[in-house]
């Protein structure tokens, strides 16, 4: 079955709900209540956004959000911002380790948060571009955009774990 | 309804507590509070959802009006919408409007699920008392955590495995050293002897320089040379014996440690392997245990020997000349401080090196068993490049560590050399001036002792290096040894199993991000043959995984003959289940041993009978080596259908009470399917059987069909009733009949 890819101005998106959009195709066809989700939440955050209905059926894939009209782009980005909560860690304020469990107090773009990391080997993943992905004991995700650019104190605290 | 105290997951902040108190009418009581951590605008804030018998309140400081109250009677339904890293509680009201009332991270997702159910059920008129019982049970389960580390306990009052076993590393390692104590003590005595003997030559050299050579005493010269020869022979003979004993002892230590880690790895739950790569586990069993063995020997032997050697030398040096001794101690503080700095710098590197190395091993563990796939897709070059890049990463990290690891010892050596220069310049002047009571021979002896003294100093400086390496290895080894076993609270409870299976309100998610099974309620009577159908990823195999107790952290209950499966001895329970997978794994062993895997003491004829029942005997008999045919890791030498029949024979031999077929005929041709089908039909008679199948033809014997869709049971009835219902099952049958007809007509065309 051929997959329908949305490129450039081939479709217009309007916001329906916090995480839902309506898609109006160039030919006038309208598909309502679609949920935009990233196909590559880690590696390609602006590309290949799938549009799913309430049954989880895919109706289209947006190849690249950047190619959409400014209004449609904003609508999709708003939905994605609401759906994906991956706080960016901007600094490590405190680090303790007890009984093999790491406790970090971090400054994020969403405020200060305390998190517990059960296994530093599997819950802290370092990507090759300096990004680090962190998963806490509750399965919440965090991201360090580039750990090398953190302040000196954070780096010092992090050096034991990254 | 009256409750004694308000249930809550955390202390409710005063400002929220006051806001709730002001909002509650005198005739209602706060039942429970879920203290959240995220505002509706996705900022970390202390929020709360308070629920009473009449309504619920939400406090969100980011809103213009932080507190909002809603009545249960206005609610049509309440659902938790799970997103990525956060979730929302959405309430649909009877007037057709909806509102996202509460947003939270996964930390409180389970409580929010429970709150949504409570609100919806109370709104639907269900009993408040009964719903509150569910709330209490959820809180009790969630709050059932270790006060020290916050880890969820297996059951209320259970000892936290994590805290219980985290003592000092040395204490844990003592267990492995204990059986070798006698040998190690003997080695220590031998060491003490060689060390004591090693202290003699410098003294004799001093005598040679001061007395024997100036006096030209040839007799004494001969005796001293002979004595030196004797000490060297003694040192090396005893040294060799000690080395041999130590090696044997060390091998036994690592053997026992490795066995323990491997045994533990076998009893870990599947959840551990979902999160940990096999490469990293193999690395821990092979590499880390060796590092620990080397460290244990260093600690139990060298530390003692070097310590006493150091003390012995210092005493002799003090006796020879206390002022020169003080001079020679000058570099020691530098070495100690340097070691401390070194320790701090090198530790992160060791962890990084290990991670990189685990990456390399993971590539190996992935690519070598999949060599057929690699070759068939001409992926050799890609695999080699991937390996190279991981290897390069390891090299880069190791080289960075090497800079620190090699520079430091040289700094130490430099300090030590400077120390000997000090002794030469000061001591030499004393000899020339004839002051300080120092002779040439004494100075030479002293220099020999000083250089020997820096041996223990160096050793202790380097010890921090091997200590750091061992610490890093120990962390990972104990990560396995201290990990929680598959929970088996009911060891020894082995009730006879007839085969009634019940799933009661079962909910499950692998992590908290997505529910894989929701509200599953099924009852299967003994002897029933039940087909489980559904699209890929609908949760069919997860149902079976939960029944097999591969995952235990689910909500609700799974009962077999009315007994919770968690209350049945795990090994016994699994031994009562015959499990046939889609891609059966074969061990590198004979066909015979592969069939007899579940019953190693089976009689030969039982094994042959099992093979006959499974339609496997004929093809085995055709093999040149018959039942002695050796199979490779993945059953190399057998076709997919043959492997499947061997695995059915395995199940037949077990004579299980419950049978599970997970897509057993999905990967074979129609003729083989027929043979397998025949074998299955022989096997299932009288046994409760669950058959997961894509090919609905496999289910022709099933007297009930369960249709799973997105983790929910959407249809559950006889095949005839489901066909009449014209629901999902009907559609699946239609699609498959069409596909079969199409395939058949194509086949016919080809024949013509």
Cα B63 from Cα B424, distance rounded (Å): 80
The number of domains in chain B is: 3
A143 neighbourhood in chain B, CB within 8 Å:
none
CATH of the domain at B214: 1.20.1560.10
Could you tell me if residue B91 is inside a domain? yes
Residue of A nearest to B358 (CA): A121
A121 neighbourhood in chain B, CB within 8 Å:
276, 280, 355, 358, 476, 479
B710 neighbourhood in chain A, CB within 8 Å:
56
Interface test with A, best of B86, B148, B153, B394 (most A CBs within 10 A): B86
Cβ pair A101, A44 in contact under 8 A: no
Residue of A nearest to B344 (CA): A160
pLDDT at B161: 54
Could you tell me if residue B2 is inside a domain? no
CB contact under 8 A, B106 and A138: yes
B526 Cβ contact partners less than 8 Å away, ≥ 6 residues apart: B498, B499, B500, B561, B688
- Hey, where are the domains in chain A? 5-83, 89-158
Cβ pair B70, B51 in contact under 8 A: no
pLDDT at B747: 61
Could you tell me if residue B711 is inside a domain? yes
Residue by residue, DSSP assigns A81-136 as HHHB--PBEEEEEEEEEETTEEEEEEEETTEEEEEEES-HHHHEEE-TTS-EEEE-
**Could you tell me the mean pLDDT of each successive run of 10 residues in chain B, 752 residues long?**
81 92 88 93 93 93 91 93 90 92 90 91 89 84 66 59 56 81 88 83 84 85 90 89 86 86 83 72 79 77 81 86 83 78 78 80 79 78 88 89 81 77 86 81 84 80 71 76 76 86 88 78 90 85 89 87 89 86 79 87 88 86 81 67 87 86 72 75 81 78 87 89 86 77 65 49
B512 neighbourhood in chain A, CB within 8 Å:
138-139
Residues 122-161 of B with CB under 8 A from A: 148-151
Let me know whether B245 and B128 are in one domain: no
Is residue B358 less than 8 Å (CB to CB) from chain A?
yes
CATH of the domain at B563: 3.40.50.300
Cα B80 from Cα B102, distance rounded (Å): 9
Let me know whether B13 and B82 are in one domain: yes
Let me know whether B251 and B302 are in one domain: yes
The closest CB to that of B106, out of A19, A139, A162, belongs to: A139
Distance from CA of B169 to the nearest CA of A (A): 12
Report the complex ipTM.
Answer: 0.89
Could you tell me if residue B156 is inside a domain? no
Distance from CA of A86 to the nearest CA of B (A): 6
Q: Count CB atoms within 10 A of the CB of residue B603.
A: 10
A18 neighbourhood in chain B, CB within 8 Å:
88, 100
The closest CB to that of B44, out of A82, A111, A126, belongs to: A111
CA-atom Rg of chain B in angstroms: 37
Is residue B480 less than 8 Å (CB to CB) from chain A?
no
B731 neighbourhood in chain A, CB within 8 Å:
none
Show the domain range for B472: 169-481
Let me know whether B271 and B418 are in one domain: yes
Let me know whether B351 and B463 are in one domain: yes
Cβ pair B428, B443 in contact under 8 A: yes
Distance from CA of A41 to the nearest CA of B (A): 9
CB contact under 8 A, B42 and A85: yes
Is residue B176 less than 8 Å (CB to CB) from chain A?
no
The closest CB to that of A99, out of B42, B149, B347, belongs to: B149
A113 neighbourhood in chain B, CB within 8 Å:
37, 44
- Nearest 5 degrees, angle CA B170-CA B175-CA B176? 95
Let me know whether B365 and B248 are in one domain: yes
If DSSP codes are grouped into helix, strand and coil, which group holds residue B335?
A: helix
Could you tell me if residue B618 is inside a domain? no
Cβ pair B83, B490 in contact under 8 A: no
Q: Which of A20-24, A129-133, B654-658 holds the top average pLDDT?
A: A20-24
The closest CB to that of A139, out of B151, B166, B513, belongs to: B513
Let me know whether B439 and B528 are in one domain: no
pLDDT at B44: 93
CB contact under 8 A, B149 and A101: yes
Let me know whether B98 and B218 are in one domain: no
B460 Cβ contact partners less than 8 Å away, ≥ 6 residues apart: B306, B339
Could you tell me if residue B624 is inside a domain? no
B474-511 b/e (C-beta count within 10 Å ≥ 16 → b): bbbbbbbbbbbebebebeeeebebebbbbbeebbbbbe
The confidence band for A100, taking pLDDT boundaries of 50, 70 and 90, is low
Residues 69-98 of B with CB under 8 A from A: 81, 83-86, 88
Let me know whether B444 and B571 are in one domain: no
pLDDT at B76: 94
Q: Which of B93, B123, B142 is the last residue of a domain?
A: B142
CB contact under 8 A, B84 and A83: yes
The closest CB to that of A159, out of B43, B86, B348, belongs to: B348
Let me know whether B373 and B501 are in one domain: no
Phi then psi for residue A47, to 5 deg, are -115, 155
Phi then psi for residue A151, to 5 deg, are -65, 165
User: Closest by alpha carbon to B611, among B588, B571, B638?
Assistant: B638
Could you tell me if residue B461 is inside a domain? yes
How far CA B425 is from CA of B4, B412, B432, B452, in Å, comes to 85, 20, 11, 19
CATH of the domain at B27: 2.30.29.30
pLDDT at B166: 46
pLDDT at B752: 47
User: Closest by alpha carbon to B351, among B477, B475, B482?
Assistant: B475
Could you tell me if residue B674 is inside a domain? no
CB contact under 8 A, B43 and A110: yes
Alpha helices, H only, B590-716: 591-595, 604-613, 617-622, 640-654, 670-684
β-sheet bridge partners, residue B613: none
Interface test with A, best of B105, B509, B714 (most A CBs within 10 A): B105
Let me know whether B406 and B525 are in one domain: no
Cα B498 from Cα B528, distance rounded (Å): 11
Residue of A nearest to B273 (CA): A122
If DSSP codes are grouped into helix, strand and coil, which group holds residue B87?
A: strand
B42 neighbourhood in chain A, CB within 8 Å:
82, 85, 110
Q: Dig out the tokens for B735 from the structure.
A: 């699609």
Q: Dig out the tokens for B651 from the structure.
A: 């199940």
3-state secondary structure B488-535: CCCCCCCCCCCCCEEEEEEEECCCCCCCCEEEEEEEECCCCEEEEECC
CB contact under 8 A, A138 and B105: yes
User: Per mean pLDDT, which range of A73-77, A131-135, B49-53, B440-444 is the poorest?
Assistant: B440-444
Let me know whether B329 and B188 are in one domain: yes
The closest CB to that of B83, out of A83, A121, A137, belongs to: A83
């Amino acid at each position: 079955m051929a997959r329908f890819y949305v490129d450039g101005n081939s479709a217009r998106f309007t916001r329906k709900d916090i995480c839902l959009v309506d898609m109006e195709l160039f030919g006038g066809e309208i598909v309502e209540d679609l949920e935009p989700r990233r196909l590559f939440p880690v590696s390609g955050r602006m590309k290949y956004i799938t549009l799913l209905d309430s049954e989880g059926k895919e109706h289209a894939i947006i190849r690249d959000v950047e190619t959409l009209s400014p209004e449609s782009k904003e609508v999709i980005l708003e939905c994605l911002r609401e759906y994906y909560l991956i706080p960016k860690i901007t600094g490590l304020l405190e680090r303790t380790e007890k009984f093999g469990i790491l406790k970090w107090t971090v400054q994020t773009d969403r405020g200060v948060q305390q998190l517990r990391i059960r296994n530093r080997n599997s819950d802290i993943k370092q990507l090759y571009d300096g990004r680090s992905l962190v998963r806490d004991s509750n399965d919440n995700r965090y991201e360090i955009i580039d750990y090398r650019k953190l302040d000196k104190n954070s780096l010092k605290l992090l050096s034991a774990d990254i | 309804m009256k409750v004694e105290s308000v249930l809550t997951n955390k202390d409710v902040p005063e400002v929220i507590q006051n806001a709730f108190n002001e909002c509650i009418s005198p005739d209602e009581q706060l039942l429970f509070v879920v203290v959240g951590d995220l505002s509706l605008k996705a900022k970390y804030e202390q929020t709360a959802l308070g629920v009473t018998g009449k309504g619920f309140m939400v406090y969100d400081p980011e809103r213009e009006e932080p507190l909002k109250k809603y009545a249960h009677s206005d609610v049509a339904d309440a659902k938790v919408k799970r997103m990525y890293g956060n979730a929302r509680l959405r309430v649909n009201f009877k007037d057709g409007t909806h509102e996202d009332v509460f947003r939270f991270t996964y930390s409180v997702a389970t409580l929010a699920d429970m709150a949504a159910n409570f609100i919806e059920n109370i709104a639907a008129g269900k009993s408040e008392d009964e719903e509150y019982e569910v709330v209490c049970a959820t809180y009790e389960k969630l709050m059932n955590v270790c006060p020290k580390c916050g880890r969820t306990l297996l059951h209320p009052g259970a000892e936290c495995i994590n805290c219980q076993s985290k003592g000092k590393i040395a204490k844990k390692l003592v267990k492995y050293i204990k059986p070798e104590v006698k040998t190690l003590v003997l080695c220590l005595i031998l060491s003490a002897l060689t060390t004591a003997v090693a202290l003699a030559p410098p003294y004799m050299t001093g005598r040679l320089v001061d007395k024997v050579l100036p006096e030209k005493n040839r007799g004494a010269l001969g005796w001293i040379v002979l004595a030196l020869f004797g000490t060297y022979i003694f040192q090396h003979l005893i040294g060799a014996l000690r080395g041999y004993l130590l090696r044997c002892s060390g091998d036994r230590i690592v053997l026992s440690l490795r066995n323990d880690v491997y045994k533990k790895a076998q009893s870990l739950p599947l959840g551990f392997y979902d999160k940990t790569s096999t490469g990293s586990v193999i690395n821990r069993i092979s590499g880390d245990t060796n590092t620990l063995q080397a460290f244990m020997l260093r600690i139990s032997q060298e530390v003692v020997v070097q310590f006493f050697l150091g003390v012995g030398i210092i005493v002799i040096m003090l006796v020879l000349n206390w002022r020169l001794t003080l001079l020679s101690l000058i570099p020691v503080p530098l070495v100690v401080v340097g070691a401390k700095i070194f320790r701090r710098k090198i530790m992160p590197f060791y962890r990084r090196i290990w991670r990189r190395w685990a990456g390399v091993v993971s590539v190996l563990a992935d690519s070598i068993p999949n060599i057929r796939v690699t070759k068939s897709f001409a992926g050799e070059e890609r695999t080699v490049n991937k390996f190279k890049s991981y290897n390069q990463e390891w090299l880069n990290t190791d080289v960075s560590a090497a800079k620190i690891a090699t520079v430091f010892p040289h700094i130490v050596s430099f300090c030590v050399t400077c120390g000997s220069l000090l002794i030469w310049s000061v001591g030499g002047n004393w000899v020339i001036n004839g002051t300080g009571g120092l002779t040439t021979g004494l100075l030479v002896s002293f220099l020999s002792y000083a250089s020997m003294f820096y041996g223990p100093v160096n050793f202790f400086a380097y010890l921090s290096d091997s200590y750091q390496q061992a610490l890093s290895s120990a962390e990972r080894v104990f990560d396995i040894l201290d990990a929680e076993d598959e929970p088996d609270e009911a060891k020894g409870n082995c009730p006879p199993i007839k085969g009634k299976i019940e799933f009661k309100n079962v909910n499950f998610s692998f992590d908290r991000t997505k529910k894989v099974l929701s509200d599953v309620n099924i009852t299967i009577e003994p002897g029933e043959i039940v087909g489980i159908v559904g699209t890929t990823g609908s949760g069919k195999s997860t149902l079976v995984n939960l029944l097999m107790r591969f995952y235990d952290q689910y909500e609700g209950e799974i009962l077999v003959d009315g007994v919770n499966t968690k209350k049945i001895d795990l090994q016994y329970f699994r031994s009562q289940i015959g499990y046939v997978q889609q891609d059966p794994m074969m061990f590198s062993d004979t066909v015979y041993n592969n069939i007899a895997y579940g019953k190693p003491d089976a009689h030969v004829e039982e094994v042959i009978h099992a093979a006959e029942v499974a339609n496997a005997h004929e093809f085995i008999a055709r093999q040149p080596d018959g039942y002695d045919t050796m199979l490779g890791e993945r059953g190399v030498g057998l076709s997919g259908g043959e492997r499947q029949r061997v695995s059915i024979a395995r199940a037949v031999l077990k004579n299980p009470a419950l049978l599970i077929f997970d897509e057993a005929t999905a990967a074979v041709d129609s003729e083989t399917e027929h043979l397998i089908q025949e074998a299955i039909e022989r096997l299932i008679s009288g046994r409760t059987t669950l058959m997961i199948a894509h090919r609905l033809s496999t289910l022709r014997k099933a007297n009930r069909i369960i249709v799973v869709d997105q983790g929910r049971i959407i249809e559950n009835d006889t095949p005839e009733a489901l066909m009449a219902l014209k629901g999902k099952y009907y559609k699946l049958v239609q699609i498959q009949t069409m596909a079969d007809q199409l395939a058949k007509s194509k086949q016919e065309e080809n024949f013509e």
